[in-house]
């Protein structure tokens, strides 16, 4: 082997090592970004059951915006960037699994269910994200015609499938403290034929 050929082979080895190092750096960077995203911005969640049907279906995988949990609230950095009525929210109360429900009313609001209708601050809530056939029955935590004011730092949530949902109408759930919220789903990842953005539910208020 000529000396110049040996040098050529050595240079190839050097370039290969450089490419390997670059690849490792790229992988480490991607993993670091993924960890930061998971810790501060978004987490995956899987729907379990039919309590949010038809808007969410069993076994669907969602990406949840957890940045809201950091920025909003009374102690948040950006108080205006917070959970809003109509949002889907993921929460986990102590000793229980994650649940995904619809945020119906927030801190300081007055909530009442009467004659299968929801009233927030004495105004009837028309939920445009629900089929027109859906009726909202009361529950043991919020009996028919009883109005309750939601304490500061708490929320009232319900599933979209009102006849098959364990939510704030029940004593087991009741008002949900903000510290138990994990974020708001904003993207459906799976199944692929239903992939897409999850928007805040539209509603109207009627006097």
Reference 142, options 180, 178, 105, 179; nearest CA is 105
Structural contact between residues 53 and 60, judged by C-beta atoms closer than 8 angstroms: no
Q: Are residues 70 and 6 in the same domain?
A: no
Residue with tokens 């403290």: 177
Q: Are residues 35 and 53 in the same domain?
A: no
Q: Are residues 34 and 57 in the same domain?
A: no
Q: Are residues 24 and 124 in the same domain?
A: no
Beta strands in the chain (DSSP E): 42-46, 61-65, 88-91, 99-105, 110-114, 117-120, 123-127, 147-149, 154-158, 176-177, 181-190, 196-197, 203-206
Q: Are residues 36 and 54 in the same domain?
A: no
Active site residues: 51, 101
Q: Are residues 93 and 179 in the same domain?
A: yes
User: What was the pLDDT predicted at 69?
Assistant: 82
CA-to-CA distance for 70 and 150, rounded, in angstroms? 21
Q: Are residues 3 and 80 in the same domain?
A: no
Mean pLDDT, range 119-137, rounded to an integer? 95
CA-to-CA distance for 77 and 74, rounded, in angstroms? 9
User: What was the pLDDT predicted at 19?
Assistant: 75
How much of the chain exceeds pLDDT 70, in percent? 80
pLDDT in tens, 3-16: 344 343 445 455 56
Domain range for 149 is 47-206
User: What was the pLDDT predicted at 84?
Assistant: 94
Please tell me the least confidently modeled range out of 22-26, 158-162, 186-190, 200-204: 22-26
Structural contact between residues 106 and 197, judged by C-beta atoms closer than 8 angstroms: no
pLDDT in tens, 30-78: 555 555 555 557 889 999 999 999 999 999 999 999 888 877 665 655 6
User: What was the pLDDT predicted at 14?
Assistant: 57
Overall domain count for the chain? 2
Q: Are residues 124 and 202 in the same domain?
A: yes
Q: Are residues 34 and 56 in the same domain?
A: no
CB atoms near residue 133 (< 10 Å): 5
């Amino acid at each position: 082997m000529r000396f110049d050929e040996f040098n050529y082979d050595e240079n190839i080895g050097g370039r290969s090592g450089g490419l390997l190092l670059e690849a490792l750096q790229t992988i480490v960077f991607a993993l670091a970004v993924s960890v930061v995203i998971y810790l501060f911005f978004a987490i995956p969640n899987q729907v379990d059951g039919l309590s949010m049907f038809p808007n969410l279906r069993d076994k669907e995988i969602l990406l949840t915006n957890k940045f809201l949990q950091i920025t909003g609230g009374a102690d948040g950095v950006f108080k205006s960037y917070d959970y809003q009525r109509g949002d889907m929210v993921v929460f986990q109360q102590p000793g229980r699994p994650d649940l995904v429900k619809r945020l119906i009313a927030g801190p300081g609001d007055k909530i009442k269910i009467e004659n299968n209708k929801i009233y927030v601050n004495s105004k009837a809530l028309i939920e445009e994200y629900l089929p027109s056939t859906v009726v909202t029955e009361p529950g043991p935590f919020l009996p028919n015609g009883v109005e309750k004011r939601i304490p500061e730092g708490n929320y009232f949530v319900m599933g979209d499938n009102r006849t098959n949902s364990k939510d704030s109408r029940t004593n087991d759930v009741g008002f949900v403290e903000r510290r138990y919220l994990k974020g708001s789903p904003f993207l459906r990842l799976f199944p692929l034929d239903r992939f897409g953005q999850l928007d805040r539910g539209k509603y109207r208020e009627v006097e």
